[in-house]
Homo-oligomer: A and B are copies of this chain.
């Protein structure tokens, strides 16, 4: 049964966390935004009996599920991208929710006054928010990912157990987003989080992910998305 991913066109955004999971296993999926445009996404948003507050959401047969982490929780077992151990499934989900929290903060750096105003209208505030993000929040989050990777009793290759989960793919995307948005920060901080950076590199080289990243299905990062490169917000860490 085909998976239908509903997300805005033109940005990787939160849809990319779902897309990476679908691409890794070569799932049979349709990217509705790309195929049919944003209007179709909005139309389905209004039509569902379990409507998502916002994209992304996924349709799979009669299931319509929104919230990125919930979508991946649903997809994980179907795509073979999560362990069968119930307790570790919950742990994988908990990690995913923490990735979501950091993603939201990465967005709020350029939109500290809320999503409704343009960046240009809140640039001074963004400069101030970026200071704390770089100095305190990024080290705290990356430090947590480094710790749980190094503490994984099954080894440091994956976040949970000894095989790939959707959380590994999402952590790859998070680091990828930081690399794009804050290149000076990420480059100078990287030596402090070697296990996180090694995971990012390994995921990047996985055959299906590498094929996907080189394809026209991959939307490049840009300054309309969650991770935005504004040089004035970046600095060495």
Contact B114 A137 (CB under 8 A): yes
Cβ of A53: which chain B residues have Cβ within 8 Å of it? Answer: 98, 101, 141, 144
Alpha-carbon separation in the docked complex, A53 to B153 (Å): 18
Contact A65 B49 (CB under 8 A): no
A231 lies within 8 A of chain B by Cβ: no
Dominant SS among interface residues on chain A = helix
A208 lies within 8 A of chain B by Cβ: no
A111 CB → nearest B CB, Å: 9
A35-43, A87-95, A194-202: which one contacts chain B? Answer: A87-95
A92 CB → nearest B CB, Å: 10
Cβ of A153: which chain B residues have Cβ within 8 Å of it? Answer: 49
A61 CB → nearest B CB, Å: 10
Given A67-B98, A90-B74: A51 in contact with B147 (beta carbons within 8 A): yes
Q: Scan residues 35-87 of chain A and give those whose CB is less than 8 A from a CB of chain B.
A: 49-53, 62-63, 65-67, 69-70, 73-74, 87
Given A53-B141, A87-B63: A93 in contact with B70 (beta carbons within 8 A): yes
A133 lies within 8 A of chain B by Cβ: yes
A236 lies within 8 A of chain B by Cβ: no
A19-27, A124-132, A181-189, A219-227: which one contacts chain B? Answer: A124-132
A108 lies within 8 A of chain B by Cβ: yes
Given A49-B151, A53-B101: A94 in contact with B65 (beta carbons within 8 A): yes
A176 CB → nearest B CB, Å: 20
A97 lies within 8 A of chain B by Cβ: yes
Q: Scan residues 89-131 of chain A and give those whose CB is less than 8 A from a CB of chain B.
A: 90-91, 93-94, 97-98, 101, 104, 108, 112-117, 125, 128-129
Indicate the member of A49, A67, A115, A144 with the most B CB atoms within 10 Å.
Answer: A67
Contact B114 A94 (CB under 8 A): no
The 8 lowest CB-CB distance pairs between A and B, nearest first, are A114-B132, A67-B97, A112-B112, A53-B98, A116-B132, A113-B129, A50-B91, A67-B94
